Structure 1
Amino acid sequence: MAARRPSTPRSAIPQVSWREPRPAPIVLVSGPEDVCAERAGARLRDYLRAEDPSLEISDIDAADYAPGTLLAVSAPSLFGEPRLVRVGSVEKCSDAFLAEAISYVAAPQEGATIVLRHTGASVRGKKLLEAIRSGQGGGIEIACPAIKRDSDRYDFAAGEFREAGRRIAPAALRALTGAFADDLTELAAACQQLINDVEGDITEQIVERYYGGRVETSAFTVADTAIAGRYGDALVSLRQALASGADPVPMVAAIAMKLRTMARVAGTREPSGALAARLGMKDWQVDRARRDLAGWNQESLGLAIQAAARADADVKGGSRDAVFALERLVTVIATRAPYAA
């Protein structure tokens, strides 16, 4: 059974996408994903500045707060310019900030937009969040939940190209998200680089040319060839990856992830869409895992998963020879048989 995501607190205020933020007297930007939060903040700033170039911008650190600052920077100026006040570290806010912010939410200043960034790393500021979410101050919430699953990264990258009005082949998108599986900031930067540098449609070959040296891409190439039973090609890919400086730890992790996906899909007869929804995957991931399962059975898949667990322990210090541990893993997967020394 797929793990359930943490529930989001119920809110009486509008929930707005970070891709399409809009101003409000109080804007709560919640959740741990800084990339999305920064995008929301920048787009909100640009929106307000386009409406009035005289926009006044102030930044406050809620953890190092000087009493009276919030009211001072949000108060109308002599000429009535609009004000944007960006407040960071609300999850670490001081008592002084908390008290003044709760009072402010009850009676916001006209012409001011207060953006409160709370990562959710602690329950600090809970009373303030409850006040905002109850509807006081006419606020909105921009949720920025963690993007960790493959399907979430795929959706994020697809949104980057869609927003830019650019077309990218599904295989290219999969290769790109696989190449930056551990860092959303780098994935976002890679998307923008392709959007800015490449004319026309973006193909898998273009992604390979730009980011073929990434460790994760190399790992998935090794995994794909080994799972397909192409033993010689798998060893060649493995040695090329290691020669380019690939770290054995993330390589084993990438291979193990593909094996686990195969195990989750094995033996199921549900339509791809229904199974993907139940497992928190994308349709194409289910289809790919089913294709990968050709030639595999329960015994050989179990053997490969056990080999991956052993390799994971070995490359993390359990063995003096991480390269040998990787070669043994590739051999077990590609031959579908126990390793014979």
Structure 2
Amino acid sequence: MAAPRSSARSTAAKGTKIPQVSWREPRPAPIVLVSGPEEVLAERAIAGVRDYLRAEDPALEVSDIRADDYAEGTLLTLTSPSLFGEPRLVRVAGVEKCTDAFLQEAVRYLEAPQEGATVILRHTGATVRGKKLLDAVRAGTGGGIEIPCTAVKRDSDRVDFAAGEFKAVKKRIQPTALRALVSAFADDLTELAAACQQLIGDVEGDITDDVITKYYGGRVEVSAFVVADTAIAGRYGEALVALRHALASGADPVPMVAAFAMKLRTMARVAGRREPSRQLAQQLGMKDWQVDRARKDLAGWNERSLGMAIQATARADAEVKGAARDPIFALERMVTVVATRDAFASTR
């Protein structure tokens, strides 16, 4: 049974005429352009297309070719119908370094794709090589789709990626555990993806802070958010210990204060609001879990103590940026005010 080729529910990106499909929900088409530099996402997308086709017909023929080491006629040979008419999947790597021979044959192929064949073009975007082919695909020639795999650079992007891994299998992870996990693999998305899959496969029930410590405690450094979370929860002694560990491991005072400021601002925005989490998140431009976490953090706080903590954080921000001689003392005073929710520390 041939894979469905119509139905374009995704909204095409600006400047293209073909559907833009999420790498988490890949589907086949005569031409599938997997673009962008993030290899982890690209591998998931390509494997997803293969699994989709194989689920429809286990007899799927899968072939791999390289566009940068291409033998003339290979593309047409591999996409041509076989004796028994099995579906064909041809995965083409290295399109950003393609030879002239591949480029010419691929552009011609778009004019008349083979029935029952799916061709995946992998282009990292590292060069403009193959632009003529990409432009033709994006213009709609060949009836293709594009699966963008943009770089995951920001911490928020990595948090969203990891959260999506657990959400996809309906497994819950505590927000603090999620941040600790991302912190442990902040420099390698491949390792973060593997860690998520290990936890999904090995752990029954929710993923908690204790689980992350058990599996990856040796890699989890004390981050600014761990210090902030501990202080906001009112665990004064633990917060000071976490602060000292963070500083000993090289944490910068400026981002430390920024973490406190971000958490407290979020709490202030959510405080007193009674709307459902999803509705409030949309109004404030936040995510549902951020609203839920802020509401949990607000337990034991009131308007006075929250305002006092925000003032202490503003003072610490100025002091760690040069307004005082001792940034460490400024941090300790801020942690004391926040963790004890008491005015005495603000005048020390």
Tell me the SS of whatever aligns to 1:158.
Answer: helix
Q: Could you tell me how far apart the structure 2 residues matched to 1:170 and 1:72 are?
A: 51
**Which of residues 217, 225, 250 is equivalent to 1:220?**
225
**Which of residues 22, 31, 41 is equivalent to 1:26?**
31
Give the aligned partner of residue 258 of structure 1: 259
Counterpart mapping for 1:144-293 below 5 A: 144-225=149-230, 233-240=238-245, 246=249, 248=250, 255=256, 258-259=259-260, 261=262, 281-285=286-290
**Which of residues 295, 298, 305 is equivalent to 2:317?**
305
Counterpart mapping for 1:82-121 below 5 A: 82-121=87-126
Deviation, structure 1 residue 84: 1.4
Tell me the SS of whatever aligns to 1:43.
Answer: helix
Alpha-carbon spacing, 1:99–1:228, altered in 2? closer, same or farther (3 Å): same
Q: Could you tell me how far apart the structure 1 residues matched to 2:108 and 2:257 are?
A: 52
Deviation, structure 1 residue 83: 2.0
Contact 1:93 1:125 (8 Å CA) reproduced:
yes
RMSD of aligned Cα (Å)? 4.0
Give the aligned partner of residue 47 of structure 1: 52
Q: Could you tell me how far apart the structure 1 residues matched to 2:98 and 2:122 are?
A: 11
Structure 2 gap segments, 5+ residues each: 1-11, 299-304, 338-344
Q: Could you tell me how far apart the structure 1 residues matched to 2:56 and 2:104 are?
A: 32
Tell me the SS of whatever aligns to 1:136.
Answer: coil
Letter in 1 for 2:209: E
Q: Could you tell me how far apart the structure 2 residues matched to 1:170 and 1:225 are?
A: 13
Deviation, structure 1 residue 63: 3.1
Return the index of the structure with the highest Cα Rg: 2
Deviation, structure 1 residue 148: 3.8
Q: Which moved more, 1:295-304 or 1:201-210?
A: 295-304
Contact 1:151 1:280 (8 Å CA) reproduced:
no
Q: Which moved more, 1:52-61 or 1:36-45?
A: 52-61
Give the aligned partner of residue 306 of structure 2: 294
Give TM-score scaled by structure 2 length.
Answer: 0.71
Q: Could you tell me how far apart the structure 2 residues matched to 1:8 and 1:254 are?
A: 35
Give the aligned partner of residue 318 of structure 1: none
Q: Could you tell me how far apart the structure 1 residues matched to 2:208 and 2:128 are?
A: 44
How many residue pairs match? The answer is 316
Structure 1 gap segments, 5+ residues each: 1-6, 311-324
Letter in 2 for 1:40: A
Q: Deviations over 1:281-333 (max 9, x none)?
A: 435446767969935577644443356667xxxxxxxxxxxxxx985674364
Alpha-carbon spacing, 1:60–1:162, altered in 2? closer, same or farther (3 Å): same
Deviation, structure 1 residue 47: 2.4
Q: Could you tell me how far apart the structure 1 residues matched to 2:88 and 2:282 are?
A: 43
Alpha-carbon spacing, 1:163–1:228, altered in 2? closer, same or farther (3 Å): closer
Deviation, structure 1 residue 27: 0.6
Give TM-score scaled by structure 1 length.
Answer: 0.72
Q: Could you tell me how far apart the structure 1 residues matched to 2:285 and 2:155 are?
A: 9
Deviation, structure 1 residue 217: 4.7
